[in-house]
Amino acid sequence: KAGVTQTPRYLIKTRGQQVTLSCSPISGHRSVSWYQQTPGQGLQFLFEYFSETQRNKGNFPGRFSGRQFSNSRSEMNVSTLELGDSALYLCASSTLSGGGDEQFFGPGTRLTVL
Amino acid sequence: AQSVTQLDSHVSVSEGTPVLLRCNYSSSYSPSLFWYVQHPNKGLQLLLKYTSAATLVKGINGFEAEFKKSETSFHLTKPSAHMSDAAEYFCVVSERWGAQKLVFGQGTRLTINP
C-alpha cells in the first residue's frame, strides 16, 4: 500500500506570494492533518480534515487555510507569504475518526520564502 | 490543554549501551501517547503508542516505553543502542477522543558514538 505522498517536495517563493501544497493520504484514510516544523517552534499542528470538514484548527493566522476533497486528498494554502513561513510542512493521515489514532506522515514539503 | 516536555534536547550514548529518552506529559483527559522518530531528511515514523492497554509498550527496533500515570511520564528506552538509532525523537500526546490533534515535544537528538 502506498504511503502518504506530498507534492511538491521543495518550493522556493518570495515574500507576498501565495503557495499551495498537496497531500494524498494512504488509500482508505479519511483523516488528514497538517503540521509545520521549524527549528525554533518545533512541530505545530495546523489543522485537521475529516470527510471534507475541518474538525480542528491550530493557532495560526488566517493566511493558512486548507481543504479536503471527496477522495480525501487535501491541500493547504498560505497567502501573503512571510519569511517566517519557511518551514517543513508535514501531512499525516489516519484511518479512524477519533483522537488517539496512529497518524502516518508523509516526507514533507520544504518551503523556503526569500 | 495538553503539553509534552522532553527533558533532554540532546542525548549521546556509545554503541551497545542503553538508551533513555525522557518525556513528561500534561493532559486533562486520558491521553494517548506516542514516540515518533525522524531521520535526517525523512518523514516521521511511529515507534510505539500507548492507548490505555498495557502500561509497558513495546515498539519497533527494540524500543519500549512505560506509561506512569503517577509520574506523568512516558520515557523511551532501548537496551542496546545501534548506530542506525541516531535520529531525532519526539514524544507526542493526543486526546483519546475527539478530533485528531497531536501535540509534540521539542524533540531529543540522539547521537550514537562508535
In the structure, what pLDDT confidence band is assigned to residue B4 with cuts at 50, 70 and 90? Answer: very high
Q: Which of A24, A27, A22, A25 is nearest to A89 (CA)?
A: A22
- pLDDT for A100 equals 59
User: What tens digit of pLDDT does each residue of B61-109 get?
Assistant: 999 999 998 999 999 999 999 999 999 999 999 876 655 678 899 999 9
The percentage of chain B sitting over the pLDDT mark of 90, rounded to a whole number, equals 70
Among B100, B101, B103, B104, most A C-beta atoms within 10 A, so best to mutate, is: B100
Contacts of B36 in chain A (CB under 8 A): 105
Q: What average pLDDT score do residues B12-26 get?
A: 97
The secondary element (H helix, E strand) that includes residue A3 is none
Measure CB to CB from residue B100 to each of A90, A101, A105 and give the nearest one.
Answer: A101
Q: Work out the mean pLDDT of chain B and round it to a whole number.
A: 91
Give the DSSP letter string of B3-64: EEEES-SEEEEETTS-EEE-EEEE-SS-EEEEEEEE-TT--EEEEEEESSS-SEEE-GGG-E
- pLDDT for A89 equals 97
Nearest Cα residue in chain B from A6: B43
- pLDDT for B96 equals 61
Q: What average pLDDT score do residues B10-25 get?
A: 97
Q: For chain A (length 114 residues), average pLDDT per consecutive 10?
A: 92 97 94 93 92 90 96 96 97 75 91 97
Beta bridge mates, B91: B35
Contacts of A100 in chain B (CB under 8 A): 31-32, 51, 94-97
Q: What average pLDDT score do residues B32-38 get?
A: 94
Contacts of B46 in chain A (CB under 8 A): 102-104
Whether residue B32 and residue A105 make contact (CB cut-off 8 A), yes or no, is: no
Contacts of A53 in chain B (CB under 8 A): none
Whether residue B97 and residue A98 make contact (CB cut-off 8 A), yes or no, is: yes
- pLDDT for B28 equals 72
